[in-house]
C-alpha cells in the first residue's frame, strides 16, 4: 500500500514528554507497516548538528537541519518524527512552510513539572547558573500558536497523548 509521507514535529520543554510520546506514536505507525524515522534532538545534536552551540542562531540552524531531513523523508513517503525542543516559533514556522504535510504536536507541561521529571539534573544546574541559556529557565520557549495537537503531559497519561496524536492523524487523512 502506497503511503503518504508527513512530518510529525514534537515541540516542548526539556522533560515535557516529547521523546516518550514520539517513540510510542512511531511504534504504532510501524506496526501498521508505515515507514518511520525518528529524529530525536539529543541524537541529532551528536551527529547532524555536531559543532553547533546553543546561541539563538545555532539553535535555529539545528532546527533548519532537522527540518531539511524531515522534508526529504516526507517527500519520499516516510513519516518523519522530529522530537526537538525547537524553542523559537519562527524556526518552527520556517519548517512548516518548507515541509509539505507538517503536523505540529505541542507537549505542553509546566516548567516545574519538567524540572521534577529531569533525570539528568539539567534544570537544577541551570537554576544554579552552571548551565547558561537553558530553555525554560534563562532562555525563552515560545509556545506554538496553532499546533495541530496539544498534549497536556502534566495531566494526560502517555497513552492518552499517543491516542490524541493518532486520532488527529486519522482526522487529517494521514492514517486510514
Q: Cα separation of 42 and 53, whole Å?
A: 13
Label residue 130 by pLDDT band (50, 70, 90): very high
**Which CATH number fits the domain that encloses residue 73?**
3.40.50.300
Tell me how far CA of residue 144 lies from CA of 13, 76, 113, 150, in angstroms: 12, 27, 19, 9
Of 5, 63, 64, 70, nearest to 34 by C-alpha is 5
In-domain check, residue 127: no
In-domain check, residue 17: yes
Q: Give all strands of the β-sheet with 102-108 in edge-to-edge order.
A: 36-40, 79-83, 6-11, 102-108, 149-152
Domain count for the chain, please give it.
1
In-domain check, residue 31: yes
> Could you tell me the pTM of the whole model?
0.94
Residue found by looking up cell 539529543 in the block = 42
pLDDT digits 0-9 by tens, 69-115: 999 999 999 999 999 999 999 999 999 999 989 999 999 999 999 99
- Please give the positions annotated as active site: 86
In-domain check, residue 105: yes
Name the residue range of residue 20's domain: 6-110+141-170
In-domain check, residue 133: no
In-domain check, residue 129: no
Percent of the chain with pLDDT over 70: 99
In-domain check, residue 151: yes
Q: What angle do CA 161, 47, 137 make, to 5 degrees?
A: 55
In-domain check, residue 125: no
Amino acid at each position: 500500500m502506497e503511503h503518504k509521507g508527513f512530518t510529525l514535529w514534537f515541540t516542548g520543554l526539556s522533560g515535557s514528554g516529547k521523546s516518550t510520546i514520539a517513540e510510542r506514536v512511531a511504534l504504532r505507525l510501524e506496526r501498521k507497516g508505515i515507514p518511520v524515522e525518528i529524529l530525536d534532538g539529543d541524537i541529532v545534536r551528536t551527529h547532524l548538528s555536531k559543532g553547533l552551540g546553543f546561541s539563538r542562531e545555532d539553535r535555529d540552524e539545528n532546527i533548519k537541519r532537522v527540518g531539511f531531513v524531515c522534508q526529504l523523508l516526507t517527500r519520499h513517503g516516510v513519516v518523519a518524527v522530529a522530537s526537538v525542543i525547537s524553542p523559537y516559533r519562527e524556526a518552527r514556522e520556517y519548517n512548516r512552510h518548507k515541509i509539505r504535510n507538517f503536523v505540529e504536536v505541542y507537549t505542553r507541561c509546566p516548567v516545574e513539572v519538567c524540572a521534577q521529571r529531569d533525570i539528568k539534573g539539567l534544570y537544577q544546574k541551570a537554576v544554579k547558573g552552571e548551565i547558561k541559556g537553558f530553555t525554560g529557565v534563562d532562555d525563552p520557549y515560545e509556545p506554538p500558536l496553532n499546533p495541530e495537537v496539544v498534549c497536556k503531559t502534566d495531566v494526560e497519561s502517555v497513552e492518552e497523548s499517543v491516542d490524541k496524536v493518532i486520532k488527529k492523524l486519522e482526522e487529517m487523512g494521514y492514517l486510514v
